[in-house]
Amino acid sequence: MFENVLAGNLMLIGQVSDALCTPFIGLESDQTRGLWKLGKRKTWHLVGTFSVMASFVFLFSECITCSHAPNIAQFVYYVPFVIIFQFGWAATQISHLSYSSDITPYKHERVTLQSVRNSFTVIANLSVYGLLTLLFYLGKSDSADNSDNISPDDAPKFRNLALICLAIGTLFNCIFYLGTKNCTSADTSSDRGTITPGENSIERSTYLHGLMTWRCWLKQLQFYQVSGDKVKQGLLCLNSSLDCVKS
């Protein structure tokens, strides 16, 4: 069984990776032109999708050919998948969140798109819990132990859940790529030409970002607030794992 301390360290590495990747992807997704005619947002979303697909299932599966190896060896095995997943997660979230700002120059349409996005995020989270409950309910009759406690024997259920989520996510990603228009750099430039800088926070931040360098980000209070929140989450995960070991 994987030690709690090492599991907490994996969570900490994931949070640190997320904190480092998020500002990098945010900067690069604004500056790159994108591949083919996808546009910069869909290009980064595609990169993030492939990264998540290449790592997500492995995080919820036993170590391949090393399931009986020492815990430190398994820790080294899972670290690259955690980093790749956090990079892909940041790439998909940032690019998808920024897509609504590029697809339309109108404030009310952006608000509507963000509301729909948040609604489906809640639905997706609840669906994962529902699927996990269903997997435990269906597998409960097959097991001799009807206890409600989660044990290593339940690992296949989490693996199956990861596969189901990956399949559903791939389907909706295809709908996103094929069912939405591509925002090229020309489209974005024409949209910005119709916007008066300072109209609202989204337009103002979009306009000012074109004038900012990486040194300017270091002068922004929000940059340190987001970084501090990520570090705080990682420390809480580490403290929780240490408390489990002490108890």
Mean pLDDT, residues 213-235:
73
pLDDT of residue 82: 92
Q: Report, as an integer, the average pLDDT of 229-239.
A: 73
pLDDT at 112 (0 to 100): 86
- pLDDT given for residue 83 in this prediction: 93
**Length of the chain in terms of residues written:** 247
Torsion of CA 69, 10, 51, 188, to 10 degrees: -170
pLDDT value at position 87? Answer: 93
176-215 burial code (b ≥16 CB/10 A, e <16): eeeeeebbbeeebeebeeebeeeeeebbeebeeeeeeeee
Which of residues 1 and 27 earns the better pLDDT score? 27
What number is the average pLDDT over the span 176-203? 55
Distance CA 231, CA 226 (A): 9
**Most confidently predicted of 128-142, 143-157, 215-229:** 128-142
Q: Kindly report, residue by residue over 103-121, the tens digit of the pLDDT.
A: 777 778 888 888 888 888 8
Question: What ranges in 32-142 are assigned the alpha helix state H?
Answer: 39-59, 71-103, 107-140
Task: Mention every residue, 6+ apart, whose C-beta is less than 8 A from residue 222.
Answer: none
Confidence of residue 98 (pLDDT cuts 50, 70, 90): confident
Residue 188 has pLDDT above 50, yes or no: no
User: What's phi and psi for 211, nearest 5 deg?
Assistant: -100, -5
Kindly report the average pLDDT of the chain as a whole number.
77
**CA 82 to chain CA centroid, nearest Å:** 11
Mean per-residue pLDDT for 72-84?
90
Q: Using CA atoms, how far apart are residues 75 and 231, in angstroms rounded to an integer?
A: 20
Question: Per-domain residue ranges for the chain?
Answer: 4-104+170-246
Q: Among residues of the chain, what percentage have pLDDT more than 70?
A: 77
pLDDT at 189 over 50: no
Q: Is the pTM of this model over 0.75?
A: no
DSSP 8-state code for residue 35: S
Q: What is the pLDDT of residue 244?
A: 56
Output the six-digit token pair for 180.
Answer: 């939405």
- In the block, tokens 């001799």 appear at 144
Please check whether residue 63 is in contact with residue 10, taking contact to mean a CB–CB distance below 8 angstroms.
no
| pLDDT at residue 221, as a whole number | 76
User: So what's the pLDDT on residue 197?
Assistant: 44
Yes or no: say if 77 and 66 are a contact pair by the CB < 8 Å rule.
yes
